[in-house]
Amino acid sequence: MRYTRFILVVTSFVFVLGCGTESQTRILRLGHGLDVSHSVHKAMVKMGEDLAERSGGKMKLVIYPSQQLGTERECLELLQIGSLDMTKVSVGVLENFAPKMKVLGLPFLFRDREHSFKVLDGPIGQELLKDGEQYRLMGLGYYDAGSRSFYTKNKPINTPSDLEGEKIRVMESATAVKMVEALGGSPTPISWGELYTSLQQGVVDGAENNPPSFYLSRHYEVCKYYSLDEHTVLPDVLLAGTYIWEKLSEQERKWLSESVKESVKFQRILWKEAEEEALREVEKAGVEIIHPDKTLFAEKAAGVLEDYKEDEEIYPLIQAIQKID
C-alpha cells in the first residue's frame, strides 16, 4: 500500500508539473515530514508569504507537511527525478545522498550553538550546500534543529554505560549508527512516522532527538526519561532539486534565495522559544529531565571522529570546523 501511494504521488506530480508550464505563476511544491506546529513549518509558511510578496505574485509556494508525500528519503528521491521541487531533511538523512554532509552529524563536533552557526553560515557550511548539486540536490539553507539527546522508556541515561543493551532508534544514517554503537547502545534505524508505535510495542527502548521533536511527536507519553547529553547539533537542510533550479530565471533564484534567508532568521528565533516550551511541557507531563556529565559521552564517542583520520575529504573538514573560534 505504501509503495502504491508513493507511485501515485510521483505520477500526480509529474502530471501537475507538466501542465503548469503555461501558467504565469511559478508554483514551487515543498514536501516535508514535520507537524504544522513545528517552527520549521511556520518558517516555511513565512517563506511562502515572503516569496509571493517579493515576486509580486509571480512565484507561489505550496507546502505538504506531515509526510503527506513520504519520508525524508522519499522526498529527496522525488527531488532527484524532478517530481517535487523542494524539501527539508535532516543532515542525518541527507548524508546518504551527499556524503560530505556526514561531517555535520559527527558527535560533539560543535562546542555550542554559536559555534555551529559560525560554521553553517560561513564558508564551510555554504560549500557543503553547493556540494549536493552533483547529486541533483541544491542546498538553500540551514534551519536550526538544536541538539539531539537520548530519551528512554525503562531507565534514565546518566552515563554511557546506561545505554548498554538498550535498543535506540536512529535515523537512516551510518554516522548515527556509529555514534550509538560507540556509546554502547544498539542502534535501530526506524522511520520517524513509525517511531511512536515502535516505542509503545517495545521494538526499541528509546530514541534520540531535540526537545521540540520529542514534545510535538508526543513520544514523552511513552518515554519518561530525557537525558540532555546533547551529543549532536544536527541541522535541518532546505533543498531544491536541480531539475527545478535550472528552470528558474536569475530573478526567480534571487527572490527565492532572499526569502530563504529571511525564513532561516525567523525560524531560529522560533526554535529557541520552542525548545524552552518543549522542556517545560514534557516536564509537566512527568518526564524526568536529566543533565548528565557530557564529558563522559564526548570521551566515549571520540573514536567516531578518529575513524575518519584516513578520509581525505572528511577529516580536513573536521579539523577546519574545530579551528573556528
Q: Which helix (H) or strand (E) holds 282?
A: helix 250-284
**Res. 16 pLDDT band, cuts 50 70 90:** very low
Residue 20 has pLDDT above 60, yes or no: no
- Mean predicted confidence (pLDDT) in 211-224: 96
Question: Hey, how many other C-beta atoms are within 10 angstroms of the C-beta on 286?
Answer: 9
Determine the pLDDT at residue 23: 54
Short-list 102, 92, 137, 97, CA closest to 314? 102
**Res. 21 pLDDT band, cuts 50 70 90:** very low
Structural domain boundaries of the chain? 2-144+234-275, 147-233+281-323
Determine the pLDDT at residue 89: 96
- Mean predicted confidence (pLDDT) in 309-318: 96
- Mean predicted confidence (pLDDT) in 8-31: 61
Short-list 131, 126, 142, CA closest to 88? 142
Residue 243 has pLDDT above 90, yes or no: yes
pTM for the model stands at 0.87
Distance CA 39, CA 71 (A): 19
Distance CA 48, CA 40 (A): 12
**Res. 24 pLDDT band, cuts 50 70 90:** confident
- Mean predicted confidence (pLDDT) in 158-174: 95
Q: Which of 29-38, 199-208, 250-259 has the lowest mean pLDDT?
A: 29-38
78-115 pLDDT, tens digit per residue, is 999 999 999 999 998 999 999 999 999 999 999 999 99
Q: Which helix (H) or strand (E) holds 302?
A: helix 294-306
Domains 2-144+234-275 and 147-233+281-323 in one fold: yes
Distance CA 275, CA 277 (A): 5
Residue 161 has pLDDT above 60, yes or no: yes
- Mean predicted confidence (pLDDT) in 256-270: 97
Percent of the chain residues topping a pLDDT of 70: 93
Phi, psi (degrees; rounded to nearest 5) at 199: -70, -45
Determine the pLDDT at residue 172: 86
Q: How far is CA 5 from the centre of its chain?
A: 23
35-47 pLDDT, tens digit per residue, is 899 999 999 999 9
Q: How far is CA 206 from the centre of its chain?
A: 19
If phi > 0 it is left, if psi is from -120 to 50 it is alpha, else beta; for residue 65 that is beta
Which CATH code is given to the segment(s) 147-233+281-323?
3.40.190.170
CA-CA-CA-CA torsion sign (107, 113, 115, 120): positive
- Mean predicted confidence (pLDDT) in 294-300: 97
How many angstroms separate the Cα of 230 from the Cα of each of 112, 148, 205, 317?
10, 5, 19, 21
Residue 15 has pLDDT above 80, yes or no: no
Residue 10 has pLDDT above 60, yes or no: no
Distance CA 69, CA 5 (A): 9
Higher-pLDDT residue of 11, 317: 317
Whether the Cβ atoms of residue 42 and residue 262 lie closer than 8 Å to each other? no
Distance CA 292, CA 294 (A): 6
Distance CA 311, CA 100 (A): 11
Q: What's the chain's average pLDDT?
A: 92
Which CATH code is given to the segment(s) 2-144+234-275?
3.40.190.170
